[in-house]
Structure 1
C-alpha cells in the first residue's frame, strides 16, 4: 500500500473561471469560509504536504502557509500547466490532485486511488462518478 508520507497534494486554483465571471473560485465563500480553506482541510489528512497552484491573488493563497506555485506561463494554460509545474516541485513519489472548488471531496479519496494503483501496474488513476442511471463520468482532475 502506498503511504500517505509518499503523497504530495496539489490544489488547483490557477484557473480563469470564465464561466463564473472570471472570479477566483478558491476565494469564493462556502459555509462562511473560502473554498480553498475547505480544500486544504479535506486534503491535509490524506497527504504528506500540500502545494497550491495559482495564477493570481498569490498573497492571499500564501497566507495559508503552504507552498504556492504559478504556472510557467501566465496565460491560464489550463489544468495540465498546473500539473506540469507542480511535478517539477513535487518531492514525493506520488501526486494527488484536486480542484480548489470541491469542498465535498471524500476524506478517503487518496486512499481509494492508492488502492487502485496497487491493483495494477498503473502510472495514473483518476476518480469517476456514477449517475443513478448507471452512466459513469470520468473526473480526471481528481487523480
Structure 2
C-alpha cells in the first residue's frame, strides 16, 4: 500500500447496459463498484469516486463523490481532472485511476504504474497488456497522473481534447505492462453478456 490517492472513474452513461449506474449492479453477490473498491483499497491511501448526478446513491460506500468539472460527459479525461483537483486540495502529488466496471484489475496496479514511470524518468504512466495481433494495448482509464499537470489537462479539455492517449502521448507517458494470463485483468463489463462472462470468471476462480 502507498499513500497515493485512488480515484475510481464512474462518470459515464452506461448506455450499453441500458443506462443507470452499472457499478451498482450485483456481480456474484457484490456490486461491481464494491469489488473495484475492494481491489483498490489495499493499494492506495484515500479513495474518491468520480461520478455525476446525485451522490447520495453511493452513500453506502462512504467515499467522497467528485463530479466532472467539464459539462457534457466528455469522457475519462474529465474524471481524471476532477480527481487531480480533489487530490490537489489534499496536498497529494499524484493519483491512480481505475474504471468502476473492471472487477479484475491487477492487485499490483499501483506498484506497476509507479515502477514504469520511475524507469522512464517521468511522472505519468498508463497500463497496457500484450496482444499477439496488435502489440501493446493500452488501458487509458488505468493510470498514474501527476497533479502538476492538472492545468495543462484543463486547457486540453477546454481545447476539445477527448482521447486520453492524445494527451498522455504529448507528455511522454510511460507504459506499465501487465500479464493477461490466466485472464485479462482489464476485462470490463459493458453489456449484459459481459456481466455473464464476469460471473463465469468468478466461478472459475478469477480474482
Unpaired runs of 5+ residues, structure 2, are 144-207
Report the alpha carbon displacement of residue 134 of structure 1 after superposing the two structures with TM: 6.4
Q: For residue 41 of structure 1, what is the aligned residue in structure 2?
A: 38
1:19, distance to aligned residue in structure 2 (A): 2.1
Provide the TM-score with structure 1 as the length reference.
Answer: 0.89
With the length of structure 2 as denominator, give the TM-score of the two structures.
0.63
Which has the larger displacement, 21-30 or 101-110?
Answer: 21-30
Q: Which residue of 1 aligns with 2:2?
A: 4
Structure 2 residue 77 is the aligned partner of structure 1 residue 80: yes
> Gaps (5+ residues) in structure 1?
none
Hey, what does 2:168 align to over in structure 1? none
Q: Secondary structure at the match of 2:98?
A: strand
Q: Aligned with 2:6: secondary structure?
A: strand
Contact kept? 2:6, 2:44, Cα under 8 Å: yes
Greater helix content: 2
Count, aligned residues: 140
Q: SS in structure 2 opposite 1:126?
A: strand
**Cα drift, residue 77 of structure 1:** 2.1
Deviation beyond 6 Å, 4+ runs, structure 1: none
Larger RCO (alpha carbons 8 Å, 6+ apart): 1
Moved more, 37-46 or 53-62: 53-62
Q: Provide the rounded CA distance (Å) in 1 between the counterparts of 2:125 and 2:71.
A: 28
Q: Among 24, 33, 38, which residue is 2:21 paired with? A: 24
Tell me which moved more, 81-90 or 53-62: 53-62
Rg larger in structure: 2
2:58 to 46, 57, 61: 61
Match of 1:14 among 11, 15, 23: 11
1:140 is paired with a residue whose SS is strand
CA contact (8 A) 2:84 2:94 kept: no
- Is 128-137 or 51-60 further displaced after alignment? 128-137
How many Å apart are 1:105 and its aligned residue?
Answer: 1.1
RMSD: 1.7
